[in-house]
Amino acid sequence: MPAFTPPPLPSDDKRWKIVNGTMRKNGFARHALIETLHTVQSSFGYLDDEAIRFVARSLRVPLSQAYGVVTFYHYFSLKPPGKHTVTICAGTACYIKGADKLVAAAEKRLGIPQGQTTQDGKISLMTARCVGACSRAPVVLRDGEVMGEVTSGQVLEQLERWAVE
């Protein structure tokens, strides 16, 4: 049987080399699937079919298995994120301190349910299981930056600022 040759990189985009680097570091072993998907997501912002197909073929993981993994873990996204992301923590401490009201306010303002991005691609509204800053509940991540003891007013103000950018 001829030795296995991984498929060629999908394009000249340098980011594919970073993805390939993760796989090479792990000897193209099947168990590197999640590690590699993390690299794809941090390089490209999300995982599209082309990326999943490339990683699956390179690691010799069945396509359906790779897709099963991608969709099992909530951290992986199949769609490109908005220019800005507001993430509202939905952990217990935040819930007790009224995070659901923040989510409702943001959903109403943006006209999208949580987990989606506005039509113009400007803002993604996400919720997180818990970011571990429970003592400052309710917590909101503004493009990844932790803000504590947040009110609905503050969330709306931020969304307003992004909207007019």
Provide the binding-site residues for another protein, judged by CB under 8 A.
30-35, 37-38, 49, 52-53, 59, 61-69, 71-76, 90-97, 128-137, 139, 145-148
The dihedral sign for the CA sequence 7, 13, 17, 19: negative
Nearer to another protein, 84 or 97 (CB): 97
Nearer to another protein, 122 or 136 (CB): 136
Task: Kindly state the smallest distance separating residue 92's Cβ from another protein, in Å.
Answer: 3
28 φ, ψ (degrees, to nearest 5):
50, 30
Nearer to another protein, 17 or 57 (CB): 57
Assess contact for 141 and 91: CB atoms under 8 A: no
Task: Kindly state the smallest distance separating residue 52's Cβ from another protein, in Å.
Answer: 6
Nearer to another protein, 12 or 151 (CB): 151
Task: Kindly state the smallest distance separating residue 66's Cβ from another protein, in Å.
Answer: 8
In 3-state terms, what secondary structure has residue 99? helix
Structure tokens at 71: 């969709």
Task: Kindly state the smallest distance separating residue 16's Cβ from another protein, in Å.
Answer: 18
For the chain, first and last CA: distance in Å?
58
Task: Kindly state the smallest distance separating residue 132's Cβ from another protein, in Å.
Answer: 4
83 φ, ψ (degrees, to nearest 5):
-60, -40
Nearer to another protein, 5 or 64 (CB): 64
Q: How far apart are CA 71 and CA 55, in angstroms?
A: 15
Strands 123-128 and 140-142: unpaired
Structure tokens at 10: 């999908």
